[in-house]
Amino acid sequence: MPFVLLQSLDMKTITYSAASKVDDNAGRPPEQDSETRVEARNGMSRRSFLGKSLAAGVGTIGVGLLASRRASAVTGSLTAGDAALLRFPAALEIIEADLWIQYNELAGVQDGEVPGGTGNPAYTEALKVLDEDMDVYVHDNTDDEISHQRFLNAYLVSKGAAPANLDSFRTLRGSSVTGVNKALIGKRLTNLTQLTIDTSWWTRYRDDSHNPDLDPNHRFPQAVPTLVVRQHTAIPRTDADTKDSNFLQAIANTAAFHFPTIEQGGNSLYPSLALRATDEEVLRILLSIGPTETMHFQTWSDKAGDAPALSAVDPVTGVFVRFPDLSGGGELFQSNLIMPEPCPFLSPNLPVVSIVRPTKTEGVAVGALRFLTNMGLFIGQSTGFFKYMTQLAEEADAARRG
DSSP 58-75: TS-SSTT----TTS-SEE
d(CA 318, CA 253): 17
- In-domain check, residue 190: yes
d(CA 344, CA 352): 5
Q: Is the pLDDT of residue 36 over 50?
A: no
What is the pLDDT at residue 112? 92
Q: Span 122-148, mean pLDDT?
A: 98
- At 284-318, the pLDDT tens digits run 999 999 999 999 999 999 999 999 999 999 999 99
Which run of H or E residues covers position 269? helix 245-274
Q: Is the pLDDT of residue 45 over 70?
A: no
- At 244-292, the pLDDT tens digits run 999 999 999 999 999 999 999 999 999 999 999 999 999 999 999 999 9
Number of domains in the chain: 1
Percent pLDDT > 90 in the chain is 77
- Which residues have CB under 8 Å from 380's CB, separation 6+? 16, 20, 21, 22, 171, 172, 173, 191
- In-domain check, residue 1: no
Q: Kindly report the pTM of this predicted structure.
A: 0.83
Q: Yes or no: say if 361 and 336 are a contact pair by the CB < 8 Å rule.
A: no
Full residue range of the structural domain in which residue 16 is found: 6-398
d(CA 308, CA 217): 32
Q: Which residue has the higher pLDDT, 64 or 198?
A: 198
- In-domain check, residue 88: yes
Tell me how many degrees the CA angle 260-365-48 measures, rounded to the nearest 5.
95
Q: How many CA atoms lie within 13 A of 353 on its CB side?
A: 10
Q: Span 35-45, mean pLDDT?
A: 36
Q: Which residue has the higher pLDDT, 155 or 329?
A: 155
Helix pair 280-304, 134-158: axis angle to 10 deg: 160
- Which residues have CB under 8 Å from 75's CB, separation 6+? 67, 83, 159, 160, 161, 162
Q: Yes or no: say if 264 and 198 are a contact pair by the CB < 8 Å rule.
A: no
Q: Span 13-29, mean pLDDT?
A: 34
What letter represents residue 386's amino acid? F
